[in-house]
């Protein structure tokens, strides 16, 4: 691979943009997110994973516009505070330690005050470099009989956003906190003696490194999804219980992402007939064949009878019979009309009407039967001989009556009457025959129960019932109207009765056959297929779900191809060869010079690259095989470690915070001042937090921040104090230790304390409580005067400094004779009041107003001197 001709980060970013055009859409979107927001949140990883799995989803790739407005690193991360520490090294709980978001925060604590406990928490929460086995231990609170987990709350700024998180020992905190670097006495050997990851690589390298990390994160999520999918497959699917050779078994063993759900549904859905068939075959092969054959023959015989009845009913309700019934009814009507006309002619001279009607015919038939069978069996009807009587009224027949009977009989024996009678009989006989084909309701119920319960064929029972109801209804309509009816009856063949009868006969034949006959084998194969289909019906949802899982799994495995980092690592390596080595070496040399170590023959060398992260070590130029830690003095050792640390951070454009723990322990004065100046300089651009137990170094740091020639070059500084109270370490005060407070701060503290204790005087002005309080206030006020004098001469001579600053000599001219007199007067007044409160015989405490007057005098004196000194350039 040829070396890329790139010399700036902007050029490297443009090269990454061009290179990204051929990357998967999710990686291009990831690059855009990394450029615009620095870090990828868990939600970002989830979104990128979804995009990796489905490239058709909407994405927002990296474009030139993003590069022009680039973030050259992660968002600036600065600690706001650490609070509510629990169960850590017996530290006091309920405390809160705050930090400046930019500038220098100096935290002072004596040995054993709990300062190191806070540092160790921050080392774990942030990015502290340590070697395995050398990390300082965090211990739970041994005085707590039921200790909970070691934890602490953290607030920090990530760009313009305020984030809150909880650190718990053994668990990872927010990734953004790793942007804060920690340097303490335990990490010096790591930086000097061992090859170690850079605290921060140039932004283009970091961008690709984070893209590699994104690949790993996305791959892990997809791998987890695949593993979850594989674990979801039930045993019924992975080890199907279907028999070899069935369609169901063939489907299950070949189940894949291309299997159609319809194929599963078809095999898993059994019709009522198939369910009944399964029950039949199961019963056939579990019972004695002889018993089964006997039962089946009985069933077939009954079905044969039912078929005959249904066929008769079908024929009875046919259109042919309806037509025949219509013809017979019409014939009776025609012949009845002719008979009616004859009857009308007969009855026109009779005294009673209705002669020749149907009722009259009935009466006449009854009279004939009575006469021929009982009254006059030897005589023809009607008997009109002498002494004959009327068979209806039993009166002797008069000549007229005898003549009437002969006329009536002649009418009955007339041809029209005979034809009407014959037509009526024909119609009634035909109707009677049709009515005889109607099945009684009891029989209908019995047959339905037989089909549904004994045969277990609900479909056949329903079909036969429907046929019977419609056929009988049609027949009734035909009989009611003597004509065809508009009632459709399905064909008897559609009921499936014939198929059931045929099936019964087949079963009988098969059961009578030999065990190894083709008939028996066919039935067993049919039974197994139905059993497997019934089993499939029970696991159908699992089978369909498995198809979905297989589809998802195949898609996920395809997506994994887009998470391979080889191309990214290759691009990172080529860019690092063009950018990183010379820049870092040059910066390291600068840091060595800053710390007054320019005479040391030390260099920074590249030690390889792994997963897109360049690796370096610090070595001696003249003796590269020897460990630098074995040659350098402790002061030089620490300065070199700090130089390496600062050189690495110099490539970080986010300006996130840095934490130092006692960085000048055992160093000589020259190195201490150089380090203080370097840290103050760094605090102009980022958050710098220094933990120290060295009070002189505290003053050096504060002076380095505030005492500069150009006021614009001042570094904002805040002092904090961690102290031990009543054997409990870790009490935090967001103010300087008393020994490091300037006069103004001391006065504010004194005034606050006076305001809070004034009530003691008001309740008991001569009491011991107020006396003790007043004594402490006056003593503090006298010390404040001493501090004010130190502040007044600080332009030339500072506390704990052996250096005389002649450039500030002119500011001493602002101190006037009257300033000295005023100082001596009020300092003496404080001494007098202090002596009065200490008088063993008659102690007298000053009033709050008197103390207030002295406070105001010092405030006025300090303001006047400070104002005059400020005006002197």
The domains of the chain are located at 77-200+568-727, 283-317+439-512, 323-433, 741-871
If you write DSSP's letter for every residue of 552-579 in order, what string do you get? HHHHHHHHHGGG--HHHHHHHHHHHHHH
Higher local confidence (pLDDT), 732 or 607: 732
Q: Which of 618, 620, 623 is nearest to 604 (CA)?
A: 618
Inform me whether the pLDDT recorded for 14 exceeds 80.
yes
Residue bearing the bigger pLDDT, 455 or 58:
58
What pLDDT is recorded for position 870? 86
pLDDT at residue number 196: 39
Average pLDDT, the chain: 80
Long-range contacts of 162-168 (CB under 8 A, 24+ apart): 162/80, 167/121, 167/124, 167/125
Residues 6+ apart with CB under 8 A from 553: 226, 229, 230, 257
Distances (CA, A) of 24 to 206, 288, 557, 559, 703: 19, 70, 15, 10, 54
Residue 212's pLDDT is 92
**pLDDT beyond 60 at 348:** no
Closest residue by Cα to residue 617 from 197, 185, 133 = 197
Q: Could you tell me if 62 and 35 are in contact, meaning their C-beta atoms sit under 8 angstroms apart?
A: yes
Split at pLDDT 50, 70, 90, the class of 118 is very high
Of the pLDDT bands very low, low, confident and very high (cuts 50, 70, 90), residue 144 is low
8 Å CB contact between 119 and 56: no
Q: Where are the beta strands (DSSP E) in 110-231?
A: 127-128, 151-158, 161-168, 181-184, 196-197
Least confident of 190-204, 293-307, 330-344, 414-428: 190-204
The larger pLDDT score, comparing residue 292 to residue 95, is at 95
Instruction: Please give the structure tokens belonging to residue 487.
Output: 């009632």
Q: Of residues 192 and 750, which shows the higher confidence score?
A: 750
Helix (H, G, I), strand (E, B) or coil at 107: strand
pLDDT at 232 over 50: yes
Q: Would you say 514 and 254 are in contact if contact means Cβ atoms under 8 Å apart?
A: no
CA 434 to chain CA centroid, nearest Å: 74
- Output the CA–CA distances (angstroms, integers) from residue 516 to 106, 296, 509, in the order listed: 98, 21, 14
Q: Which of 347-356, 759-768, 786-795, 846-855 has the lowest mean pLDDT?
A: 347-356
Q: What are phi and psi of 162, to 5 degrees?
A: -100, 125
The sign of the CA dihedral 333, 335, 338, 342 is negative
Residue 349 pLDDT > 70: no
Residue 198 has what pLDDT? 32
* Residue 382 preceded by cis peptide, ω within 30: yes
Query: Can you give the pLDDT at residue 86?
Result: 92
pLDDT bracket for residue 199 (50, 70, 90): very low
Q: What tokens appear for 19 in the block?
A: 């290179």
pLDDT of residue 129 exceeding 60, the answer is no
Question: Which stretch of 149-158, 211-220, 377-386, 679-688 has the lowest confidence by average pLDDT?
Answer: 377-386
- Across residues 223-249, what is the average pLDDT? 89
DSSP annotation of 137: P
DSSP string of 411-474, one letter each residue:
HHTSHHHHHHHHHHHHHHHHHHHHHTTSPPHHHHHHHHHIIIIIS--HHHHHHHHHHHHHHHHH
Instruction: Report, as an integer, the average pLDDT of 666-684.
Output: 82
Residue 451 vs residues 44, 162, 215, 335, 527: alpha-carbon distances, Å: 66, 79, 68, 48, 21
Give the span between the Cα atoms of 742 and 705, in whole angstroms: 15
DSSP 3-state of 50:
helix
> pLDDT category, 420, cuts 50, 70, 90?
confident
Phi, psi of 122 (to 5 degrees): -65, -35
Region 411-428: mean pLDDT is: 71
pLDDT at 214 over 90: yes
Quote the pTM value: 0.48
* Res 221: pLDDT: 94
d(CA 701, CA 675): 9
Tell me how crowded residue 214 is: count the other CB atoms within 10 A of its CB.
26
The answer to whether residues 672 and 88 touch, using CB atoms and an 8 Å cutoff, is no
Radius of gyration (Cα) for the chain, nearest Å?
58
How far apart are the C-alpha atoms of 616 and 205, rounded to whole Å? 15
Distance from C-alpha of 866 to C-alpha of 860, rounded to nearest angstrom: 10
- CA angle, corner 208, sides to 203 and 214, nearest 5? 125
Q: Using 50, 70 and 90 to split pLDDT, how confident is the model at 176?
A: confident
What percentage of the chain has pLDDT greater than the value 70? 81
Residue 121 vs residues 102, 118, 180, 198, 595: alpha-carbon distances, Å: 21, 5, 13, 22, 29
Architecture of the CATH domain 77-200+568-727: 3-Layer(aba) Sandwich (3.40)
For residues 711 and 129, which has the higher predicted lDDT (pLDDT)? 711
CA distance 379 to 394: 16
pLDDT for 211 equals: 93
- Give residue 758's pLDDT: 92
Cβ pair 474, 317 in contact under 8 A = yes
Residue range 35-40: average pLDDT?
Answer: 79
Q: Is the pLDDT of residue 425 over 90?
A: no
Higher-confidence residue: 647 or 9? 647
Query: What would the mean pLDDT of 500-525 be, rounded to a whole number?
Result: 80
Residue written as tokens 């579990």? 286
How far, in Å, CA of 218 to CA of 224, rounded?
Answer: 10
- Spatial separation of the C-alpha atoms in residues 470 and 490, rounded to whole Å: 8
Q: Which pLDDT score, from 0 to 100, does residue 614 have?
A: 54
pLDDT band at residue 683 using 50, 70 and 90 as cut-offs: very high
Q: What is the predicted pLDDT for the residue at 197?
A: 37
CB atoms within 10 A of CB 10: 15
CA distance 182 to 787: 34
């Amino acid at each position: 691979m040829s070396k890329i001709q790139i010399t700036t980060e902007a050029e490297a970013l443009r090269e990454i943009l061009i290179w990204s055009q051929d990357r998967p859409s999710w990686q291009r979107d990831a690059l855009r997110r990394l450029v615009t927001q620095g870090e990828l949140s868990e939600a970002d990883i989830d979104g990128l994973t979804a995009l990796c799995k489905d490239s058709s989803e909407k994405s927002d790739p990296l474009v030139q516009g993003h590069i022009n407005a680039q973030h050259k690193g992660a968002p600036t991360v600065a600690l706001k505070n650490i609070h509510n520490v629990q169960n850590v090294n017996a530290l006091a709980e309920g405390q809160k330690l705050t930090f400046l978001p930019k500038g220098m925060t100096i935290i002072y604590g004596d040995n054993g005050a709990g300062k190191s406990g806070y540092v160790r928490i921050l080392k774990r929460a942030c990015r502290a470099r340590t070697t395995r086995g050398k990390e300082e231990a965090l211990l739970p609170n041994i005085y707590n009989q039921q200790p909970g987990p070691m934890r602490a709350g953290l607030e920090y700024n990530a760009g313009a956003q305020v984030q809150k998180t909880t650190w718990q020992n053994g668990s990872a905190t927010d990734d953004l906190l790793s942007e804060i670097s920690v340097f303490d006495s335990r990490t010096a050997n790591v930086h000097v003696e061992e090859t170690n990851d850079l605290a921060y690589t140039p932004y283009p390298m970091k961008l690709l490194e984070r893209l590699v990390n994104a690949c790993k994160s996305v791959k892990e999520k997809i791998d987890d999804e695949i593993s979850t999918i594989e674990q979801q497959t039930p045993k019924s699917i992975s080890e199907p219980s279907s028999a070899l050779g069935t369609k169901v078994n063939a489907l299950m063993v070949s189940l894949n992402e291309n299997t159609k759900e319809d194929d599963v549904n078809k095999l898993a859905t059994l019709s009522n007939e198939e369910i009944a068939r399964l029950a039949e075959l199961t019963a056939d092969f579990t019972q004695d064949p002889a018993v089964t054959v006997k039962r089946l023959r009985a069933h077939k015989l009954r079905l044969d009878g039912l078929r005959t009845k249904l066929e008769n009913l079908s024929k009875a309700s046919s259109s042919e019979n309806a037509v025949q019934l219509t013809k017979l009814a019409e014939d009776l009507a025609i012949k009845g009309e002719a008979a009616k006309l004859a009857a009308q002619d007969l009855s026109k001279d009779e005294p009673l009407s209705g002669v020749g009607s149907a009722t009259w015919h009935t009466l006449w038939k009854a009279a004939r039967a009575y006469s021929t069978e009982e009254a006059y069996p030897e005589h023809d009807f009607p008997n009109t001989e002498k002494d004959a009587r009327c068979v209806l009224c039993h009166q002797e027949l008069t000549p007229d009556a005898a003549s009437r009977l002969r006329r009536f009989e002649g009418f009955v024996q007339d041809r029209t009457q005979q034809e009407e009678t014959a037509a009526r009989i024909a119609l009634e006989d035909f109707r009677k025959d049709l009515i005889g084909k109607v099945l009684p309701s009891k029989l209908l119920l019995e047959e339905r129960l037989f089909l549904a319960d004994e045969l277990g064929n609900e479909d056949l029972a329903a079909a036969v019932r429907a046929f019977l109801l419609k056929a009988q209804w049609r027949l009734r309509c035909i009989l009611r109207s003597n004509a065809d009816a508009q009632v459709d009856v399905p064909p008897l063949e559609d009921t499936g009765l014939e198929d059931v009868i045929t099936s019964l006969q087949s079963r009988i034949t098969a059961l009578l056959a030999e065990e190894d006959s083709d008939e028996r084998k066919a039935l067993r194969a049919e039974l197994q297929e139905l059993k497997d289909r019934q089993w499939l019906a029970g696991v159908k949802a699992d089978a369909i779900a498995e198809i979905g899982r297989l589809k998802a799994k195949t898609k996920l495995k395809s997506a994994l191809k887009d998470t391979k980092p080889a191309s990214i690592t290759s691009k990172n390596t080529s860019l690092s060869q063009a950018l990183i080595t010379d820049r870092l070496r040059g910066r390291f040399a600068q840091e060595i010079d800053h710390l007054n170590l320019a005479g040391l023959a030390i260099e920074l060398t590249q030690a390889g690259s792994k997963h897109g992260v360049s690796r370096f070590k610090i070595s001696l130029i003249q003796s590269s095989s020897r460990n630098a830690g074995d040659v350098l003095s402790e002061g030089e050792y620490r300065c070199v470690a700090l130089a390496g640390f600062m050189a690495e951070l110099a490539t970080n454009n986010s300006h996130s915070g840095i934490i130092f723990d006692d960085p000048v322990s055992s160093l000589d004065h020259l190195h201490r001042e150089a380090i203080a100046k370097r840290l103050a300089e760094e605090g102009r651009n980022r958050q710098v937090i220094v933990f120290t137990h060295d009070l002189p170094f505290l003053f050096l740091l504060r002076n380095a921040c505030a005492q500069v020639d150009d006021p614009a070059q001042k570094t904002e500084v805040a002092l904090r104090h961690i102290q031990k109270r009543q054997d409990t370490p870790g009490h935090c005060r967001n103010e300087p230790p008393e020994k490091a407070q300037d006069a103004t701060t001391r006065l504010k503290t004194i005034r606050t304390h006076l305001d809070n204790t004034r009530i003691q005087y008001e309740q008991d002005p001569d009491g011991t409580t107020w006396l003790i309080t007043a004594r402490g206030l006056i003593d503090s006020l006298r010390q404040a005067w001493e501090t004010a004098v130190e502040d007044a001469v600080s332009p030339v001579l500072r506390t704990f400094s052996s250096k005389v600053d002649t450039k500030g000599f002119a500011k001493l001219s602002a101190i006037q004779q009257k300033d000295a007199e005023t100082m001596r007067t009020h300092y003496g007044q404080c001494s007098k009041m202090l002596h009065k409160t200490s008088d063993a015989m008659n102690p007298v405490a000053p009033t709050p107003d008197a103390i207030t007057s002295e406070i105001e005098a010092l405030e006025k004196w300090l303001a006047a001197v400070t104002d005059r000194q400020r005006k002197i350039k």
